[in-house]
Amino acid sequence: MEIKNIFCVGRNYVKHARELGNDVPDKPMIFTKPTNSIIYADNQQIKFPRHQGEIHYEIEVVLYIGKEVTRPLQVDNIVTKMALGIDFTLRDVQSALKEKGHPWLLAKGFKNATLLTNFWDFPGQTACEQEDFSLIKNARIVQQGNIKSLIFNFQNLIEYIDDHFGLTPGDIIFTGTPEGVGPITDKDELKLFWNEELKGSFQVGK
């Protein structure tokens, strides 16, 4: 499946914004990641940058835009598939970039920084609200979320991104991470769950 643009939103769950000491935004804070950073979780070992400080996981619900965006907007007509993803972040690098007011690309765009499970058919926004998603690290739940807690919901995000950058079929949107982000270390085993269903797993390679 070809992916054209990767849009992401920062600070889209209140508790996550607060855990990193950030204010809750009044507009979506959008950034992009290069498609070169995509890796699919396939029960394999994945390598990450070394000696650049902590690398944090951020599990997120990912939307696939399958149809042209038309107004009035109907999310369920435009989003055709969904996945879970991890927006990997070099957190120490990001903190330094934030201090200087520089873009986040170095912290968010490295090789394997954009992990995806396989996509499945989008069941509709209401159905998504019935399911929690979670990230398990070494048999322990480290993050659990539900899209009901989004500050900017799917419709807000799609409208905002389309207004400012254009949004076309093949684009994906990382919709933000709930609280509980934290570092990975060598040999960690990570599993992404949609409710009870395992959607992807991998190991942090040395």
Interface residue list for Zn ion (CB under 5 A): 58, 87, 177
CB of 11 vs Zn ion, minimal distance in Å: 9
d(CA 145, CA 149): 8
Give whichever of 32 and 177 is closer to Zn ion, judged by the CB atom: 177
Give whichever of 128 and 173 is closer to Zn ion, judged by the CB atom: 173
Give whichever of 58 and 171 is closer to Zn ion, judged by the CB atom: 58
Closest residue to Zn ion, Cβ-based? Answer: 87
CB of 32 vs Zn ion, minimal distance in Å: 12
d(CA 33, CA 88): 10
Distance of CA 25 to the CA centre of its chain: 17
CB of 148 vs Zn ion, minimal distance in Å: 18
Tell me the two tokens of residue 185.
């270390």
CB of 71 vs Zn ion, minimal distance in Å: 27
Give whichever of 49 and 76 is closer to Zn ion, judged by the CB atom: 49
d(CA 147, CA 180): 15
Give whichever of 43 and 107 is closer to Zn ion, judged by the CB atom: 107
Tell me the two tokens of residue 52.
């650049």
CB of 68 vs Zn ion, minimal distance in Å: 26
Specify the 3-state DSSP secondary structure of 162.
Answer: helix
Rg (CA), the chain: 16
Given a contact cutoff of 8 angstroms between Cβ atoms, the answer to whether 15 and 180 are in contact is: no
d(CA 29, CA 42): 30
CB of 140 vs Zn ion, minimal distance in Å: 21
Give whichever of 8 and 167 is closer to Zn ion, judged by the CB atom: 8
Q: 136: Cβ–Cβ under 8 A, 6 or more apart, which residues?
A: 142, 190, 191, 192, 193
Tell me the two tokens of residue 120.
């499945």
